[in-house]
Every structure is written in structure tokens, then in C-alpha cells.
Amino acid sequence: MIESVSRRAFSSSSGTYNVRASELARERKLNIFNVTVQFLDETQHSFQIEKKAKGCVLLEQVYQHLDLVEKDYFGLQFTENGSPPSATNTEITRWLDSTKSVKKQVGANAQFWLAVRFYPPEPSRLAEEYTRYLLCLQLRKLLLDGRINAPKNTALLLASFTVQADLGDYNVSEHPPNYLSELCLLPKQTAEDERRIRELHKLHKGQAPADAEANFLEHAKRLDCYGVESHPAKDYNGKDIFIGVTSIGIVVFQNNIRVNTFSWSKIVKISFKKKQFFIQLKREPSESYDTVLGFNMRSGRAAKALWRCSVERHGFFRLRAPRRRALLAALGALAGLAAPSVPRTETMALEDARRSRSTNRSFVRRSSSRPRERSVGCASPALRGARVTAHSEPPPRAAWTDAARPASEIHEGDFLERVLRIPLSYVDESESGSEECLGSGHSGHDLNSLGSAEVCGGVKVRLEPGQDGLFGFNVRGGGPAPVLVSRVASRTRLQLQEGDQVISINGTNVDELNHEQVVQLIRNTRGVLTLIVKPNAVYAPEEPGLEEPAVCFVPLSCRPGQARAAGDALEQSLLLLGDGLASGAALTHYETLLRRLPDLPAAAARLPHNLNKNRYRDIAPYDSTRVILKNGPTGDYINASYINMEIPNSDSVLSYIATQGPLASTVGDFWQMVWEAESTLIVMLTVLTERGRAKCHQYWPKVGNTPLKATNSLTIFTTSEQNHGHYVRREMTMKENTGACRNVTQLQYTAWPDHGVPEDATAFINFTQLCSSLRNNHPLIPTVVDPSAGSGSEESLSCVSPPMIVHCSAGVGRTGALVLCELALELLARRQPLYPLDLVRAMRAQRPMCIQNASQYKFVCESIQMAYNQGFANKPAENGSN
């Protein structure tokens, strides 16, 4: 009976309702949390996550939606008030923490912005074209809203690459004169800016979007504020500064100028306490104490944010694997605040990206300036403002080719490309590939080339060994750094250039090989050596010593169809220098210079009894140019070098002694050198102490104090001291026991910070002119024309003046900058062509590492340009300026 009832109850006319399942679905629906993410191309998408979900869940959904492979460089930003991140609301902008609940971090406002969190120091090492595209979009946003500052010429060049990527090749019939007026390319864009961008756009013909973006990144990465997350602070003097964190370390900006850099290798510890942020630096051999620098932040929250940012960037860029969290970190007060850690490092990201995908997928490019239909090559009329790009897109015409172009392709503005060969920028500069690797690769001087051919991703070069079995080139780099050609024998330069990046050797990819493995792979080759290389961005000019810019702007005094005034070599050299600075090519050339010539020994500096006389271990004078003391109180060695620079087309020689700032133990040696060299001018380019670190010992007595007994025979008196703001002038007298005496002038320039550049270029130019005038006012040293002629020989006053003694702390960086600046001013006054790179090369052949970094070189070159624009070249050279 019961069985029959049950069957009737559950017959086709009956039904059921699962109450519990409906309740669970209702609960799940109530726990759903909707968030909106805005991407870098201004599109938006909504995502649904559970309210208790952590940030990693949302991040993974975003990465999957974009099919983003190199996702470790990106993150999600949100603001406390829900407004978009900008230059004015950096205080309330936060990064989504992947380990914490999304709901607790953002509250009710669930608006996020995708952004680049870790900027790759070498964008060319990114495996995905799509990643480079997103990086370009991010940088364009930062340039437009003022969060990244760029020099005017560089900003124009970057804008021209943006136009090339968005609109393609310039076409007279389809691009009217005002075709850039509707595009938002620069802040406060003017008609003159658009004209110059148009001229640059014409030079990029043949570049595919990927190539234009690669060139954009190659120039953008050289900006001082590239990849810098800035935090406002105050220094120990109460001045407003910005502390930035980058892949190389912690940098300090003042008035948008980088004034100091603390690399990770020089930092021992970073910490914060309340509103103060601290950096502890590695102790130098000459120091007996630790140096801790403190900065005042706006609040304790700001100090913690800077500390957290520094820890995360150090972990991402410097570690090979994430740091394990301490077991006692959870105990809070017992272990202190636990340092944050990144889930993955850049090394892991690059390795995974290289393995995950061998070819780039197709994706849609959207105009970063405004929605606009492509005039040429658009995939479909429906894709307005978009461009579909695949890895199979045909390669562009090489911009450095000499092949003749059809007359139909030559249009207005192409005269620059016909007169000057404009190279594409493909260089891959890695700081890890230092000069220490020079000459350690496979070397030789004889080469029989079998030719080269373009292949996908590079150029194939086939080489035969010479009679000595060598292939005629050196390599540097390897491991995390790209493998670059460092030296090339003279007969190989038609096939291989210095700076070419080696992609593969005999079919073996070198990305994961260290330097020794690369060298061994070359040495083990029998017969033909097959290389796949990326051409170097530094164009090898036909005339040695000339700088060839990566791009050239249209001179205002030279229009198409007009010839340049002949014979003005100075103007042409300054134009090349200006274009090189604007494009970054000048700094690229500078970075290729050898810091120390390997064939010039420095054995005297390495002797055991001389080691303590060197302020820094790696700054040692060459034996061939070092100053040798005749009656030195502690021997004949002092860390000083002669630098003699000849002025072309004249009998003038500017002579210097470049030396380190004296140590307490070398003051006597320093004054003995001044006496023996008969010098009457000392130029000091440092203060005694910078940020708590001793840079130079005070080697002179104060006015009115007891004279300084420098040696057993020399006594130093300071007779006067005058402070002129950015420099101090002191008059001193040297007296010897025999009664002989000499007046010496010391000029101490106090406005050049260590590892930075001066704020006022005009003041530095004026200071350099003062040094030159004091040198010229002193009598020359008489020299014998023919020493073998005996008493009948004549004396000459036109050969060499007493050397100007120049020193900073190490005697190479700021010292070399002053030498270069005085040489440049002398050449300007004589209207001689000026090539700063050749001058630096000549200086480093006499003292290693002169002009220590690119920022110093850039500052001097820009100061030279400013002096030229102010009409200094029109001033006549002073008589006796040798």
C-alpha cells in the first residue's frame, strides 16, 4: 500500500523543490563582490570575486583576461577617494596587496587601474611585444600628466615615435600640415612642437609599430625619472627633495634634477622610525665608522610606504628567488615589523616568459593619443583607432641601408635621411656587462668572412678563422646580461660591429649561458662560426671620432633645398652634439668608452706600501702618467696623474695634475707635489664632508691660525679667504726652509654634490672661466728648445704652463668634468670643432675613469651648448691662453 502511494506521489504530475540548494545559491550571490578595472588603453572591464577573496584572486583574473604572460611587472592601483591616479594625488594612491582581502583594502569603492609596478631596466629583454606595448602606454600617460619630466628635445622625439606607432608612415597626400593638432602628444603642445614632431615623424618611415615602440622605450629608459616611484621628503638642511626607488637603487631628486644615487650594492640596510627614513651605507676602506643617512618624511605612514617600496623593488630586481619570511615575523614586537616580500623576482619572470611562448600573439593596438581611423594599413574600417599586429608582420626597411630608394618614395622632409644615415636603435645596454669582461672573449686580428644575411630576429654572420685560428672579436656579458661584441679586429668591421648583441652561436641560444660558457662555445668551434646578431644602435661613422646622432632635427637656419654655410665646423659639431643629447645617442657613445685602458699598468698603486695612500681601491693612476715625487716625505708615490691636452691648430697645451682629495696621511705628499710642479693654482671640487662621509682632509690652515707644517721643509700659510656663494677663494703662501716662497691660489667649488650635478650651469661655466683666467695670469715655465745645444740654447715661453692641480674626492669624476669644460671653452673661443667624446677618450688615456658617470658627461655637454648659445664662441681667445 505504501509503495503504491509513493509511486503515485512521485508520478509525472508531482514535483520537488530543493530548499537548501536555493539558500546556498542565495548566500553565494550575496557574497559576490563586483570590481571595475580600467586598463592602460582606457578600456574597462568588470570582474566578480568573493567578498573575502584576497588580492591575488583579482590579479589573476585580470591577467587571464588580458592573456598577459609577463605579468610580474604589473599591478593594480586604487585611490582612497576613487579619483584616477595622477601627479596631484600620489599621497593617497595605493597598490593592491595580493596577500590581503580586496574588500578590506578598498572598502566600498571598487575601482582599480592597471599600471606598471616594476619598470624593466632593459625593455628589450622583454619576451612579449604586448608587454612592451603596455609599457609604452604607461610611459605616455606619465609624460602627459607630468609625473615624468623629459627634456624638450627628448619629449619631441618620443612623441614622434608615438605618432609612427599610431598612424604609420608619413604620407603627404593623407597627412595634412595640421594632422597632429588633434592629437594629445605633449603637455602644453604648441604649433612649433607639432612642426618639429612632424619632421621627426618623416624620418621614421618603414618602422612597424613594434619597432617604433622599441625605439620609444630605448630613449625613455635613459630619462632620469624612468621607473622612479617618487616620495616627497626633506633633507638634513630642510630642503624639499624627492626620494625615488628604482631597479638600480635609491635616488634623490631636487628641483627635478637627480643629485644623488645610492646603488643597492652600496647599501647595507634600510629602515624607518616614525617620520624618518634611514639608509646605512657600506663602509669604505678609508673609513672607520658606519654612515647612516636620515630623511624626514611627511608622516610615519609616508616613511613606511617608502620603506616598503624600497624592500619590494630590491627583492624584485636584485634577488634570484623571493626571500623567505622569518619564522619570528609573526611575533610582532619580538621580531619587529616583517619586511614585505615579492611573490616572484625579475629573474624568475624572464625565465618563465622565455619558456612559455616562443612567438608573439596577435593583439589590437588602440591609439594612445585619441581614437582615429588609420589612413594606411588599417585592418578594417570597423577598427577605428585600433591596429591588429601579429608576429608575422613583414619587417620594416632598415633605416641605415644605402640602397637607393625609388623617386616616388622621396617626399618633403626626406633630405635629412638622404644626407645623414639614420639608424634604428636596437642596442641592449646592461650594467652587468662591465668593462671587466673586455678582452676575455675570443680575440684575434685575422678574419675571412663568408658573408651575412638577414634572418628573422637578427642578422646571420658566418666567419672563418684567421691564420692564427681566431675569429677576430671579443665578447662581454652573459648570464643575466646580454652577450655583446666588445672589440672587433679591423678586417671584421664590415660584418661585425662593437656593441652588436649576439643572439645565438652555431644554433645555440646564448640567453641562458654565462660568460665563460659563451667564450668556450666560440673556442670549441672548428671551421665556420655562425652567429645571429642584433645590429648595434651606435652607427660606426666613416670618419673616426665623429659622433653620429640617432636622429637629427631640422636646423632653423637650414631648410630643404638650402645649403649649409660651408666651413663652419664648430656649428656642425655642436649641432651633432645637440642631436645626440636629444636622442640619447651621445650617452650611448659615452657608455661604450673604456673606463680604464687594459694595456696601461698601474703597478705602483698596487704595491703594499702604497695601498693606504689610495682613497678608493679602484682609482689608481697609470704608471706611465703618474706624478713621481722627487723628495716625497713617504716615498715617490702619490695618487695623481699628469693630463696634457693639446689644442688643435695651435702650440697651446693645457696641462693639469688630476689627483684625489688628500688623506690625513698624504697631506705632506700633496704639498710636496705642488712645490715640485711649480703650480700656483689649486682647484678643489668637493666639500670636506658630504652626507656624513669624509671626501677630503682639510690640507690647509685657517686664516689667522698656526701655519701648517706640511713637511720638514715646507710650511703653509693662509693669508685670505673670501666666500663668493658657490665657490670659496683662498690665497696661500708656501715657504721652504731655504727661504724660497711661492703664492698659491685655491678655488673651492662648493655647489657640486657627490654623484650629482650642479643646479646652475651658468655658475659652473663662470667658475671654469675664472680658473682659466688665473692660469693665464701666471708666468709660463721657461723650457729649453734644444737641451743638447749647451749654453747656446734658447729658452721658450710658448710650450707648457705650470699645471693646474685639480681634485675632487677620487680625482676622476668632477675633476674630469672641469678639465673637459675648460677644454671646450678654449675650443669655442678659437672656433675649433668640438667633439667631447674624443676629449674624454684622450683624458682616460692619461688617467682612468675621467668623468665618472653619464650624468656628469651630460651636464658638461649641456653647459657647453648653453655657452655656445650665449655667444661665447664669438669672444676672441685671450693671448697666452696656453
Any idea which residues carry the catalytic annotation? 808
Cα 613 to Cα 659: distance, rounded to the nearest angstrom = 12
* Secondary structure letter of residue 101 according to DSSP: B
Cα 384 to Cα 366: distance, rounded to the nearest angstrom = 8
CB-based contacts of 232, cutoff 8 Å, min separation 6: 240, 241, 242, 297, 298, 302
Residue 567 and residue 588 in contact, taking contact as beta carbons nearer than 8 Å: no
Distance of CA 29 to the CA centre of its chain: 52
Task: Say if residue 729 is exposed, middle or buried (CB neighbours under 10 Å; 0-12, 13-18, 19+).
Answer: middle
Percent helix, strand, coil in the chain, to 5, is 30, 20, 45
At 753 the three-state DSSP class reads coil
482 closest CA partner among 548, 550, 537, 547: 537
Cα 229 to Cα 626: distance, rounded to the nearest angstrom = 44
Angle at Cα 162 formed by Cα 156 and Cα 166, nearest 5°?
A: 145
The DSSP string of 469-524 is S--SEEEEEETTEEEEEEEE-GGGTTT--TTPEEEEETTEE-TT--HHHHHHHHHT
Question: What are residue 348's phi and psi, to 5 degrees?
Answer: -65, -40
CB-based contacts of 330, cutoff 8 Å, min separation 6: 338
Cα 526 to Cα 597: distance, rounded to the nearest angstrom = 32
Question: What are residue 491's phi and psi, to 5 degrees?
Answer: -80, -5
Cα 192 to Cα 156: distance, rounded to the nearest angstrom = 11
Distances (CA, A) of 644 to 91, 654, 745: 53, 6, 21
- The label of the residue with cell 620594416 reads 396
Q: What HEC string does 266-321 produce?
A: HEEEEEEECCEEEEEECCCCCCCCCEEEEEEECCHHHHHHHHHHHHHHHHHHHCCC
Other C-beta atoms closer than 10 Å to the C-beta of 27 total: 9
CA dihedral 22, 28, 29, 30 (to 10 degrees): 110
CB-based contacts of 528, cutoff 8 Å, min separation 6: 450, 462, 463, 464
